[in-house]
Amino acid sequence: MHIRAVQPDDLPLLQDIERTAGEAFRAIGMPEIADDEPFTVAELSRYAQAGSAWVAADDTDRPVAYLLAEPVDGCLHVEQVSVHPSAARRGVGRALLDHLAGLAAADGLPALTLTTFAEVPWNAPYYERCGFRPLADAEIGPDLREVRRREADHGLDRWPRVCMRRDVHRPGHP
């Protein structure tokens, strides 16, 4: 497995990864999440063109997971990370997060942030194992609050959500 930037030919595959990975939500009583459409090819293309989209690819260079990020409150925000079930539980998601943390550190950014479901085992509990911590309300910046508002407008607050942060270590800093 190797991590590389998303290429135009990858975009439909990313949608397939998202749809397939989302099926796990159906089994835990969240069919609305499973049925939610992935980003459009145009949306994915914008992330790729901005240099904010990466894939974990197998030995044949076929994507098995992807991560999208964007700047939020001076940090790199994980907008989406999805792993195809055939590649799950192999450290692929963690490798993508570690890759992003390295990029953030190299750019002098202090942290990664994300929002996720608080009670879904492969969401907040998983991210805690990957070095993220829940943010107290007072720690949530204005841009991250706007992310949460958009999520609420999309209906995601039907289930408990949490904002999380993973500090990164910049070169030359402890």
DSSP H stretches of helix in the chain:
11-22, 31-35, 41-49, 92-106, 124-129, 142-153
Whether 80 is in a domain gets the answer: yes
Asked if residue 173 belongs to a domain, the reply is no
Interior angle at CA 125, CA 96 and CA 23, nearest 5: 70
Whether 172 maps to a domain, the answer reads no
Q: Could you give the 3-state DSSP secondary structure of residue 9? A: helix
CATH number, position 152 = 3.40.630.30
Give the pLDDT band (50/70/90) at residue 2: very high
Average pLDDT, the chain: 94
pTM over 0.85: yes
Question: Per the domain annotation, does 46 fall within a domain?
Answer: yes
Is residue 77 in some structural domain? yes
Does pLDDT of 95 surpass 70?
yes
Residue 174 placed within a domain: no
Encoding tokens for residue 44?
């994915």
Position 89 scores a pLDDT of 86
Compute the distance between CA of residue 48 and CA of residue 8 in angstroms, rounded to an integer: 8
Q: Are 81 and 132 in contact (CB under 8 A)?
A: no
Percent of the chain with pLDDT over 70: 97
Instruction: Specify the number of domains making up the chain.
Output: 1
**Which residues are registered as beta bridge partners of 75?**
72
Residue 111 pLDDT: 97
The whole-angstrom separation of Cα 67 and Cα 81 is: 4
Average confidence (pLDDT) over 70-89? 95
Over 70: is that where the pLDDT of 172 sits? no
Distance CA 157, CA 159 (A): 5
Residue 59 inside a domain? The answer is yes
The answer to whether residue 54 sits within a structural domain is: yes
For residues 124 and 134, what is the distance between their CA atoms, to the nearest angstrom? 8
Between 91-95, 103-107, 153-157, 158-162, the lowest mean confidence (pLDDT) is in 153-157
Backbone angles phi, psi at 53, to 5 degrees: -145, 130
User: Could you list the residue range(s) of the whole structural domain that residue 135 is in?
Assistant: 2-167
